[in-house]
Each structure stands twice: as structure tokens, then as C-alpha cells.
Chain A
Amino acid sequence: MKSIRSLDKVIARCEGWLIILFLWLMVVLTFIQVCLRGLYTHGHLQWANIALGHIDWSVPLVRLLVLWLTFLGASLVTGEKKHIKIDLFSTIIPPKWLPVRDLLLSVVCVGISAIMLKVCVGYVSMEKEFGGRLFLSLPDWIGQLILPVGFTLICFRFILRTIDQGLEIVRGIHT
């Protein structure tokens, strides 16, 4: 269990670094695009248009980063148990039953994210065979890789949580 938990920490740190890298990329690239576009449309500078042509790959790249950041962020949120939810009964359910409810919910989360993982793997391998090109002649499926990777991370986090909650209930019964 200990080694799994340290693996979780290492993954979270990597996700953090990737988020920082991707967000910087997004901020810098969009800023450059806006400036060049402004210079061309309002200042009628030809070189700005030529420069825009040279970085035309950055437009789809930045859009792709939105998706990658979404999954990295969502995976971190899963680790911290802070996903958005409707919670009408926390104050009504007797505290004794709360761990059981939490375990039930976590098991469902593991199931659904595992199905999503399987479906996404199928999707990417299909795209790998028939898909088109992304930008800079990269194949499409590279960009889509975040879907199975993201659901792997999310599923992993939910499994960890399920184990924790199961242990907690077992401990509760014994004491």
C-alpha cells in the first residue's frame, strides 16, 4: 500500500509540472497570436502576417492544450476528492452510514471510469489506423492520447480511494 501511495504522489507531482508547462505555453502562444493579429489587422504590417503563417501550428496546439489541461486538472481534483457533486443528504444520513455511502459511490466511480478507459483505448486505436493529421504532420491520435491516459489516472485515484474507504470500514467494525 505504501508504495502505491508514493506512486500516487509522484504522479501528482508530474501532473503539476505538466500543468505549469502547458499553461505557460498556452498563455505565451495565445498572447503572441493576439499581438501579431492585432499588428496585422490594425497596423497593416505585412511581416506580422508572415510571422502568423509561421506559427499557424500554434492555433490547434493551444486548443488541444485546453483538453490536456482539463484532464490533468480533473485527475488532480479526483485525488483531492473535490469533484463537483450534488449532495442533498450528507446532513440527513446518520453519520454511522456515511462511510458505507462513500464506499458505494467510490466503487461506482471506479466502474464508470474503467469503462471509459476501455472505450477511449478503443477510440484511440481506431484513430491510429484511420485518423488524419493534427499539425506539424503529427498524427491525430497523439492528441487524443490524453483521453485514455486521463481516465487511467482518474480510475487509479478512484481505486485508491475505494481501498482507503474499505479499510476504514473494516477498522471501524473491529474497534
Chain B
Amino acid sequence: MILAMAIALIILIILGLPLFIGILAAAMLGFYVSQVQLTAIPIEIFRLANAPALLAIPLFTFAGYLLSEGNTSARLVRFSRSLFGWIPGGLGVVALVSCAFFTAITGATGITIIALGGLLFPALISERYEENFSLGLLTTSGSLGLHFPPSLPIILYGFVSGANIEKLFMAGLLPGILMVGVPCLFSVYMGKKWRLERPSFSARQFLSGLKGAAWEFPIPLLIIAGIYSGIATATEAAALTVAYILFLKTIIFHEISLLKDLPRIMKESMKMVGGIMIILGAALGFTSYLIDAFIPMKILKLMEGIIGSKIVLLLMLNLFLILVGCMMDIFSAILVVVPLIVPLTSRFGIDPVHLGIIFLANLCIGYNTPPVGLNLFIGSSRFERPIVQLYKATLPFLLLLLLTLALITYWPALSLFLPALMKS
């Protein structure tokens, strides 16, 4: 009976049941079986109100929505074009860098392809980049930049796994640069191969681009500096970022009117927060059942028999997480999977901070993996191309990213070097 209900629930979830309802139902089923009162669920949900780290999520989301309003994206592209436009394949580099920046500040919610794709795709085509190359590049770049502060998935991972959020931010820097850098090199290589025309570097354009972007481009750098030096925690940095962007958008650029636009932006951003955090609440309930029933320990026991070494574990983890990444959005994946695998990986001596970086790199690749990677669908509708063409277009980028994933996974020092330098 119980088994039938569990199977029915899984079928309902992949049919499209809202995930928080599905997870709540799973928690209810679990507590019912182990004869625990369902009051355990609201008690867990209420923990959302007692977690200082979570405050960063609404604040950074709000900041990201503020920033995506108005002409920030255009200023950003103009500046990076004046900076990188002159190198071979330069526009590809511009696209990758601007998208990574945008993904970091807007919290990787698929908004990047929608906001920047329309600006960059025609530009790439008019500079004679091949259509499939341009499609693949823009589609994959929709999830790059996840590793840079103030990325929301990092904050969520930190909360769920208990790893230090400031350390996670630092650990993500080098792997993040690698994941953006490798496709950049590919673009340079193709630019050379195709002998694309390119403008020469102009100091005047650079200065005017810099002037336009000078207020906004440093934001992630300031956040990194603030956290790295220990001046601010992630939450404090979030509060300062919101205040700064509000000041910029209303007083410096006059792009947002306090009475006309701000209420709408506030509502939109809090819908995003509500959609994610309600799943977090449900997942807290479900996780507490899992721990009550010793499920992570059972998985650990089971896997210990199968997995002989750390390398095999990491390999299986990679495959598993890519699979998860192509079915679930990144937030739900973190909330559901992290509590299950943390005991297993810590048993094999994998640092939780390193695990977080691997996790995000995997999910970021899963977003682009056929048949159901989310980026592919967003790209297909944004660029009005059949999804099968996108499968083909993203393939070279996917292979490159898999290569970087291997580096990130099997070279822990790449992630753990910077946080070790941090002041505790």
C-alpha cells in the first residue's frame, strides 16, 4: 500500500506536480509510516525564520531584479566589447563574460538567456559567427557564472550542507573562471580559424565604455573583496548591495521610479523567492524525516559496499548529478540531493566546500544536457530554433565543459586553495 502510494507520488511529480507539494507529500508519507506526528513538518518550515544566512537570499534576489531592470545589460556589453572586441573571436568572449556576470547577479534563474540573448545573438550573426556556434555559446552561457558571488545556489548549498558560505564564495572563484575561460579560448580559436574581421582596440571607446559601466561592473568585485577581507558576511554584503543598487538605479541613472517601477520589481523578485524558499521549507520537513529514518546512513551503508575508492565515488557522483541537473532546476536539486549525499562524501574524505563546487559545476552542465536540459528549452524558445538544432549546437561546448568538470572534480586544490588563505 505504502509502496504503491510512493510510486504514485513519483509519477505525479514527473507529470508536473508543483515540487513543494510533491516534497510535502513525501514527508507526510514518511512521517505517517514511521508514526511521527505531522507537526514535525511545520516545525521544520518555521526554521526558515531562524536562519541568519537565509536573509541573503531575498536581498540578493531583489538586488538582481533591480539590476536587470533598465540598461545595465547594454552598458555591460558595450564595456566588455571595448575591452575584448579586438581579440580574435572577441565577441564570443564578450558574450561569455557578460552572461557570466549577469548569471551571478541574477542568481542563475534562466533570466540571462532571455535578457542578453536578444542583444548578443544578432550581433554575433552580423559579425559572421556561424549560427550553430552562436546558438551553442549563448545557450550554454546561460548557466555559467553560477560559481561567482552573490550566486544564490551557493548560498542555498551552504545552508543545506552546513558549509561556510563565505568560504564557498572564495572556493568558487577559480573553478568559475575556468568554466568561463575554456569556452572563451574556444571562441578565440574559432575566431582565428574563420579569420573574422575585428575592430582594432580603441582607447576612446574603452574609456567611454568604462565610464558607462563604472558604477555597475565592480559590484561582484566589491562583494568578493568585502567577504574575502572579512569586513562583511554574505548577509551584510547583501544589505549593502541592495542599498547601493537602489541608489544607482533611482538617483544616478533614473531608470527606476520609486513609485511606479519599484513595487512591481519588489513583487516579481519576491515571487521568485517564494517559489524557491517554499521548496526549501518543504525540503527541510522531508530531510528531517530522512534523518529520522536513517535514510542517509542506509544509503551510505549500501554504497560503501559498491564503491571502493574516492575516484569511483566522484565519477558516479558526476554521472548522477548530471542526470539530476537535466531533470530538475538547480535550486530543487540542491535542496533534495545534498542532504542525501553529504554523509557519503564526507565518509570518503571529500571536503564539503569542494563538494559544493563540484555540485554546481555538474548542475550547470546538466542544464545543457539533452534531452531535457532547461537551457535548451529556454534557448529554443528565445532564438526560435528547433530544439534538435540546439542539441547539436551546444554539443562542442558541452564537451569542453565536461573537460573542465573533470579538472574541478579531480583537482581539489583548485577549489580549496583560496578559502585556505582567508582570514578566519
B247: min CB distance to chain A, Å: 11
Question: Max chain A CB contacts within 10 Å: which of B51, B54, B236, B272?
Answer: B236
Report the bound CA distance from A87 to B15 in whole Å: 6
Question: Max chain B CB contacts within 10 Å: which of A67, A143, A144?
Answer: A67
Q: Which residues of A contact B52 (CB under 8 A)?
A: 63
Stretch from A1-9, A44-52, A70-78, A163-171 forming part of the interface with B: A70-78
Interface string of B185-223 (1 = CB under 8 A from A): 000000000000000000000000000000000000000
Report the bound CA distance from A59 to B271 in whole Å: 23
Would you list which residues of chain A between 116 and 175 have a CB under 8 Å from chain B?
116, 119-120, 122-123, 126, 143-144, 147
Q: Is B176 an interface residue (CB 8 A)?
A: no
Would you list which residues of chain A between 13 and 60 have a CB under 8 Å from chain B?
16, 19-20, 23-24, 26-27, 30-31, 33-34, 37-38, 42
Asked if A31 meets B240 with Cβ closer than 8 Å, knowing A123-B42, A147-B45, the reply is yes
Would you list which residues of chain A between 61 and 94 have a CB under 8 Å from chain B?
62-64, 66-67, 69-78, 80, 82-90
Stretch from B16-24, B90-98, B315-323 forming part of the interface with A: B16-24
Pairwise interchain contact B58-A82, C-beta atoms closer than 8 A: no
Which residue from B20, B235, B242 sits with its C-beta under 8 Å from A83?
A: B20
Q: Which residues of A contact B266 (CB under 8 A)?
A: 19-20, 23-24
Q: Which residues of B contact A63 (CB under 8 A)?
A: 49-52, 54-55
Would you list which residues of chain B between 253 and 302 have a CB under 8 Å from chain A?
262-263, 266-267, 269-279, 281
A140: min CB distance to chain B, Å: 9
Q: Is B372 an interface residue (CB 8 A)?
A: yes
Which residue from B236, B267, B271, B327 sits with its C-beta under 8 Å from A82?
A: B271
Q: Is B137 an interface residue (CB 8 A)?
A: no
Q: Is A11 an interface residue (CB 8 A)?
A: no
A17: min CB distance to chain B, Å: 8
Which residue from A64, A69, A74, A101 sits with its C-beta under 8 Å from B20?
A: A74
Interface size class of B (residues with CB under 8 A): 35 or more
Asked if A27 meets B277 with Cβ closer than 8 Å, knowing A20-B266, A89-B16, A115-B38, the reply is no
Which residue from B15, B25, B42 sits with its C-beta under 8 Å from A120?
A: B42
Q: Is A10 an interface residue (CB 8 A)?
A: no
Report the bound CA distance from A144 to B42 in whole Å: 9
Q: Which residues of B contact A84 (CB under 8 A)?
A: 18-20, 275-276, 279, 329, 331-332
Q: Is B157 an interface residue (CB 8 A)?
A: no
Report the bound CA distance from A52 to B50 in whole Å: 19
Pairwise interchain contact A144-B46, C-beta atoms closer than 8 A: yes
Pairwise interchain contact B58-A66, C-beta atoms closer than 8 A: yes
Report the bound CA distance from A109 to B21 in whole Å: 6
Q: Which residues of A contact B17 (CB under 8 A)?
A: 85, 105, 108-109
Report the bound CA distance from A147 to B329 in whole Å: 25
B1: min CB distance to chain A, Å: 17
B56: min CB distance to chain A, Å: 10
A33: min CB distance to chain B, Å: 7
Pairwise interchain contact A109-B18, C-beta atoms closer than 8 A: yes
Pairwise interchain contact B46-A27, C-beta atoms closer than 8 A: no
Pairwise interchain contact A108-B41, C-beta atoms closer than 8 A: no
Q: A34-B236, A72-B274, A86-B14 are in contact. List 6 more A-B contacts (CB 8 A).
A: A30-B235, A66-B57, A66-B58, A78-B18, A87-B16, A104-B15
Pairs A-B, 4 closest by C-beta atoms: A73-B274, A83-B18, A74-B274, A74-B278
